[in-house]
Amino acid sequence: MPFKANAARRHRIPKQRHRVTNWAEYDAALRQRGSLTVWFSDEAIAAWRAEPRTTRGGQPHYSALAIRTALTLRAVFRLALRQTEGLIGSVLRLLGLDLPVPDHSTLSRRAETLEVPGSCPRSAGPVHLLVDSTGLRLCGSGEWLIEKHGTRRRRSWRKLHIGVDAHTGQILASELTTSDVDDGAQVEPLLDRITGSLASLIGDGAYDQDDVYNAVAKRHPKADVIVPPRSTAVPSEMAESTPTQRDRHLQSIAENGRMGWQKRSGYTRRALVESSIGRFKRVIGDALHSRTDRRRATEIAIAVSTLNRMLELGCPESVRIA
């Protein structure tokens, strides 16, 4: 509950209400997300076996597409590696396919070097990129260990940085770092993964840094940086002659207030990246199950690809109810 002393100073904003206009299509897309005929496609069956290696070394039995298909099923249904092996074997038997089943050790080993194709933006024009980060815990000793042995070891976790297309809701870029990495420091790696043009970058106050403005201006000179300045921020020395984007934000806040600046600048769209983080944790989960950093990076790449594919199946289209 909010602190009672601040209740009188809080904005009295009624909760918005929306109505989904394409409920029939969205309902069919939700059912299709759980269909094995979607995730175990004809393409995966045709390219299941690996091509013969022409260089020295052992011959691989499974193609990269087969490993990605198995890890995708693992992410969708939240399975362990052994349960993933059992699911794939049962699906192949039901389909009547004479294909080998990758064991759990192979899935774990191949995840170390697996390359996952990145997502491509579907927007017709420049992308409005929404950036944010969230924490993902590392799976380790269970709660029974704390209860039995009384250990007080702190749980480790990693930070996931994402860039979301405001129009499609797809995650266009992601970076997995340690928990002590600053959010603004990951803007440059996220921008390196954006192949199209950028219209704006929208983030919360953690991205109010000169390095963020410089990184966007270096790659996309015409893009806007929509980040709320700190409450103690002051205009630059050149604000009167050649104001920067941050100076114009400060001027707009002084004239229209924080709430007015959010509506005029388009900062309110940042709520969509919060929805993407919530979707990630509801569908995929809030934990990383792999044991090495490279396998964790593959796990995140598979999860991002899975969520984007789910969005391609169908998204809700809603209108606000007055």
- For the segment 271-315, what is each residue's pLDDT rounded down to a tens digit? 999 999 999 999 999 999 998 999 999 999 999 999 999 999 988
Partners of 321 in the β-ladder: 17
Dihedral angle computed from the Cα positions of residues 70, 72, 76 and 82, in that order, rounded to the nearest 10 degrees:
30
Query: Where do runs of H (alpha helix) occur along the chain?
Result: 23-33, 36-39, 42-46, 64-77, 81-95, 104-110, 143-149, 187-192, 210-219, 245-265, 271-283, 293-313
Write down the architecture of domain 127-230+270-289 according to CATH. Answer: 2-Layer Sandwich (3.30)
- The predicted model scores a pTM of 0.86
What span, in angstroms and rounded, lies between the C-alpha atoms of 51 and 63? Answer: 7
What span, in angstroms and rounded, lies between the C-alpha atoms of 107 and 99? Answer: 16
What span, in angstroms and rounded, lies between the C-alpha atoms of 132 and 277? Answer: 9
Contact criterion met (CB below 8 Å) for 84 and 73: yes
Confidence of residue 1 (pLDDT cuts 50, 70, 90): very low
What span, in angstroms and rounded, lies between the C-alpha atoms of 238 and 180? Answer: 34
As to burial, measured by CB atoms within 10 angstroms (0-12 exposed, 13-18 middle, 19+ buried), residue 99 is: middle
What span, in angstroms and rounded, lies between the C-alpha atoms of 229 and 206? Answer: 9
Q: Is the pLDDT of residue 181 over 60?
A: yes
Contact criterion met (CB below 8 Å) for 193 and 173: yes
Angle between helices 64-77 and 293-313 (to 10 degrees): 80
The two tokens of residue 13 are 């904003």
In the chain, where does the domain assigned CATH 3.30.420.10 lie? 127-230+270-289
For 227-311, strand residue ranges (E) read: 287-288
What is each CA distance from 250 to 15, 45, 190, 242, in whole angstroms? 28, 57, 26, 14
Q: Which pLDDT value is given to residue 287?
A: 92
Which amino acid, residue 172? L
Q: Which pLDDT value is given to residue 34?
A: 85
